[in-house]
């Protein structure tokens, strides 16, 4: 299904459910309109209430998604943790795990919620000994405002201090200082894991991730009760305003927020109960339609080449592209920037027909493989009736294949043929490159970490999936 804030369940599973960087199974049809609509929806000049509500919805949707995510992770009613603590995902996904759509078997996740109104926090990273890892620092509208990891910092042990936007104190000199644009911050860490035998080593690294407050700066809590988490328009409006109160928008958005105040969105000065009955009725009537429209457009952004859909270049750094920001909050909240990872996906073959385990397919990767500095993997997902993607059981217990797969067969010219089918291939050589498919509809998702320029700028794209029978 489309993952959205109205169906969020609590606990870390829900966090990772929304953290998936990929959407449901329906093939995207790039129409080139998403980016243009993005700025227009939340930045248009119309003061008609219906148009303002549509703009407010696009602007607020990520705030509400992050607010619900925060509550799901920390517990409803939690305002601030005086001792910030990492939360770790310890297990690799398998077909039995159905709480997280589009799971991966490449990395384990750790996450850390911070309230920087309470003062700076020092983060410590262990020596990763060359292992791929990344830490994305995410604000309350889904922007990756800073990154740490192998690509940028190497893998030696390091210390970093995170301060809030209004911190007046002196800056520590013994560590790199990162200034956050919002008081609430989510740090999402990914650490590469090479199969079940590698789990103990990754667990040890997770346990060495540190977070230590440096200076106390207590302030009155904004949330003195549970945040409004229901599916109603009132909950949407009130949670958006509480998130804005905790995390004031940047100066360049003040004009926009003054306009949106007319329909109940401005932060501390706005609330559902302050709206007229007519505006409340218009929100109630509009919200289902706005959500349905966001679902429809969530996967039409970016470009489609050879049946593979690629995200937009501003993924994770949205600027004023509020429509794309909102659609990403729906389909891929917490997605990494393309410079760190790209996620092309497809559900069709070279003729545009839906992929199905009733047929046999081949994907031929050219000599040299994919241009990445870290690793790539291709995951196979069965498509649920509601559109969610999960691994399917198979005799090999293989749910992804990539450049770290033992025994991958490479042709004499350096190319690699990946085979997708339900039944086992006829020869042992083909079986080495076999990614078992479910009996019914399936979708393929590539994860390419630390992509090189040729993959980022589109010089190199994935070939179409060929049907063999």
The DSSP result for 395-427, as a single string, is TT---EEETTSTT----TTS-EEEEEESSPPSS
> pLDDT tens digit string along 196-247?
999 999 999 999 999 998 866 555 555 556 778 888 999 999 999 999 999 9
pTM as predicted = 0.87
The DSSP result for 294-319, as a single string, is HHHHTTS-SEEETTEEE--TTTT--T
**Which token pair is 238?**
């009130």
**Which token pair is 285?**
């009537």
pLDDT band at 79 (very low <50, low <70, confident <90, very high): low
Residue 102: predicted pLDDT: 86
CA atoms of 141 and 64, how far apart (whole Å): 9
Within 10 angstroms of residue 409's Cβ, the number of other Cβ atoms is: 17
Q: Does the pLDDT of residue 448 top 50, yes or no?
A: yes
Residue with tokens 């995207």: 28
- Distances 100 to 5, 388, 390, 401 between C-alpha atoms, Å: 14, 9, 8, 20
* 87-213 and 344-467 share one fold: no
pLDDT band at 36 (very low <50, low <70, confident <90, very high): very low
CA atoms of 463 and 65, how far apart (whole Å): 35
121-125: strand order across its sheet: 176-179, 158-163, 121-125, 210-213
Residue 117: predicted pLDDT: 87
> Of 2.60.120.1600, 1.10.1060.10, 2.40.160.10, 3.40.50.2000, which CATH number belongs to 344-467?
2.60.120.1600
Residue 388: predicted pLDDT: 81
Q: Which residues contact 375 (CB under 8 A, 6 or more apart)?
A: 106, 132, 192, 402, 403, 404, 449
The DSSP result for 333-358, as a single string, is TTPPPTTTEE--EESB-TTSPBPBTT
Whole-number mean pLDDT of the chain? 86
Q: Where are the domains of the chain?
A: 5-77+222-297, 87-213, 344-467
> pLDDT tens digit string along 371-405?
999 999 999 999 988 778 899 999 999 999 999 99
Q: Which residues contact 406 (CB under 8 A, 6 or more apart)?
A: none
> pLDDT tens digit string along 276-331?
999 999 999 999 999 989 887 766 777 899 999 998 999 999 999 999 999 888 87
257 vs 219 pLDDT, higher one: 257
> Of 3.40.50.2300, 2.60.40.1610, 3.40.50.720, 3.40.228.10, which CATH number belongs to 87-213?
2.60.40.1610
**Which token pair is 80?**
């601030």
Residue 385: predicted pLDDT: 85
Residue 214: predicted pLDDT: 84
Q: Does the pLDDT of residue 32 top 90, yes or no?
A: no
| Contact predicate 217/120, CB 8 Å | no
Query: Nearest CA to 208 among 31, 88, 38, 58?
Result: 88
């Amino acid at each position: 299904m489309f993952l959205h804030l109205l169906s969020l369940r609590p606990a870390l599973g829900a966090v990772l459910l929304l953290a998936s960087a990929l959407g449901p199974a329906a093939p995207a049809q790039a129409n080139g309109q998403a980016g243009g609509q993005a700025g227009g929806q939340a930045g248009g000049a119309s003061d008609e209430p219906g148009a303002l509500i549509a703009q407010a919805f696009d602007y607020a949707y990520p705030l509400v998604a992050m607010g619900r995510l925060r509550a799901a992770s920390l517990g409803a009613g939690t305002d601030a943790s005086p001792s910030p603590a990492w939360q770790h995902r310890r297990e690799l996904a398998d077909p039995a795990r159905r709480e997280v759509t589009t799971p991966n078997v490449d990395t384990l996740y750790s996450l850390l919620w911070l309230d920087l109104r309470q003062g700076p926090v020092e983060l410590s990273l262990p020596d990763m000994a060359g292992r791929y890892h990344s830490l994305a620092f995410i604000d309350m509208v889904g922007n990756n405002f800073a990154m740490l990891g192998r690509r940028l910092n190497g893998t030696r042990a390091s210390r970093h201090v995170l301060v809030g936007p209004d911190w007046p104190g002196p800056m520590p000199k013994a560590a790199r200082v990162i200034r956050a644009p919002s008081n609430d911050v989510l740090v999402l860490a990914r650490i590469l894991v090479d199969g079940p035998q590698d789990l103990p080593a990754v667990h040890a690294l997770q346990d060495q991730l540190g977070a230590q407050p440096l200076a106390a700066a207590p302030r009155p809590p904004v949330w003195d009760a549970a945040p409004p988490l229901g599916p109603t328009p009132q909950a949407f409006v009130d949670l958006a305003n509480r998130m804005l109160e905790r995390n004031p928008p940047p100066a360049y958005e003040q004009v926009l927020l003054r306009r949106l105040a007319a329909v109940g969105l401005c932060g501390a000065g706005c609330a559902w109960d302050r709206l007229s009955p007519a505006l409340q009725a218009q929100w109630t009537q509009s919200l289902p339609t706005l959500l349905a429209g966001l679902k429809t457009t969530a996967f039409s952004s970016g470009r489609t080449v050879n049946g593979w859909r690629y995200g937009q270049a501003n993924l994770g750094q949205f600027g004023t592209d509020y429509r794309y920001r909102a659609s990403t909050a729906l389909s891929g909240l917490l997605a990494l920037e393309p410079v760190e990872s790209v996620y092309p996906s497809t559900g069709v073959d070279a003729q545009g027909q839906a992929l199905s385990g009733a047929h046999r397919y081949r994907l031929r990767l050219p000599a040299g493989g994919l241009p990445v500095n870290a690793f790539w993997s291709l995951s196979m997902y069965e498509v649920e009736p509601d559109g969610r993607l999960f691994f399917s059981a198979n005799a090999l217990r293989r749910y992804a294949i990539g450049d770290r797969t033992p025994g991958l067969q490479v042709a004499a010219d350096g190319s690699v043929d990946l085979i997708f089918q339900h039944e086992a291939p006829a020869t042992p050589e083909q079986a080495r490159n076999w990614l078992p498919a479910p009996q019914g509809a399936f979708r393929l998702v590539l994860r390419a970490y630390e992509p090189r320029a040729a993959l980022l700028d589109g010089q190199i794209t994935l070939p179409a999936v060929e049907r063999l029978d």
